[in-house]
Amino acid sequence: RIGNLLVPNDNYCKFEDWLMPILERMVDEQDTQGVRWTPSRMIARLGKEINNPESICYWAQKVLGATGGALGGCHRGCHRVPPLSQNNIPVLSPALTDGSLGDMIFFHSYKRPGLVLDIVEDLRLINTQAIFAHKTGMIILGGGLVKHHIANANLMVRGPRVGEGAWRGAGGSPRCLPAQRNGADFSVYVNTAQEFDGSDSGARPDEAVSWGKIRVDATPVKVYADASLVFPLLVAETFARSADAFAVPAGTP
């Protein structure tokens, strides 16, 4: 989180020097190869260009030998599309242009206009993943746009506008269509926002239940704390305890 860091101004100059050639190549690929960029595809591209194992975006796009797969909530692969990254871990950012990255995109647009980022495709991606997942869970650090965007995806239900017809097999037979979402099954909020300020950030889990963003039979939790301090402790007591069980042995292809 940028608020926890001291960033010398020179770092922004280095960031610009690194990013501008990438934006230039992205426009080239858009114009010559018909690449349709979305925020998640751009983040995957930046992860590849970073080429640093300390980066989450690097691992999200890293090629581990897989060349395709299912993208969407269905674990059986009923919705097959070209993967955003070989690990099939799209990093979604509905406010990609908010911040230094957006500044650089703005500056570059005067040097070479024309780069298009399709936010609608990413919107469909996050919503359909929630709709067709058998279970969903939310760990929301902080508030604002990200909190609402994730919770709102869990509000969506399968119906005539998101029909079954697009989710059938080659012979027209239905394929693993789960029940309607109607809210996340598991939810953890970590933020310091208060309900009385009237913001979405301060809205408690019971507000999300009233909208259908969290299931009525769920047991959500809100932790009133600074996420950058508390989240590492939560990970240490949960996911990290089982890390060895998911480790890939050295030398595994």
Dist. CA 58–CA 41, nearest whole Å:
13
Length of the chain as a residue count: 253
Q: Express each pLDDT in 29-81 by its tens digit.
A: 999 999 999 999 999 999 999 989 999 999 998 866 544 333 333 433 444 44
Check whether residue 32 and residue 125 sit in a common domain.
yes
Mean pLDDT of 201-207: 95
- Structural domain including 232 reads 134-253
213 classed as catalytic: yes
Instruction: Measure the CA–CA gap between 20 and 13, rounded to whole angstroms.
Output: 11
Arithmetic mean of pLDDT over the chain = 84
CA distance 224 to 191: 5
Cβ neighbours, 10 Å, residue 6:
6
pLDDT score recorded for residue 51: 87
Within a domain: 1: no
Task: Please name every residue paired with 188 in a beta bridge, in sequence order, or none if there are none.
Answer: 139, 221
pLDDT score, position 239: 86
**Number of domains within the chain:** 2
Q: Looking at the domain assignment, is residue 2 inside a domain?
A: no
Residue whose entry in the numeric block shows the structure tokens 């508390």: 230
165, 102: one domain: no
Q: Which of 14, 111, 135, 213 is catalytic?
A: 213
Which pLDDT does position 106 carry in this prediction?
97
Whether 195 and 239 share a structural domain: yes
Q: What is the CATH number of the domain that holds 206?
A: 3.40.910.10
Q: With CA atoms as reference, report the closest residue to 190 among 121, 142, 244.
A: 142
Which H helix or E strand runs over 165?
none
Q: Which two tokens stand for residue 163?
A: 């029909």
pLDDT of 107? 97
User: Does the structure show a pLDDT above 70 at 153?
Assistant: yes
Amino acid at 148: H
Claim to verify: residue 113 and residue 156 sit in the same structural domain: no
| pTM higher than the cut 0.75 | yes
Longest dimension (CA), the chain: 59
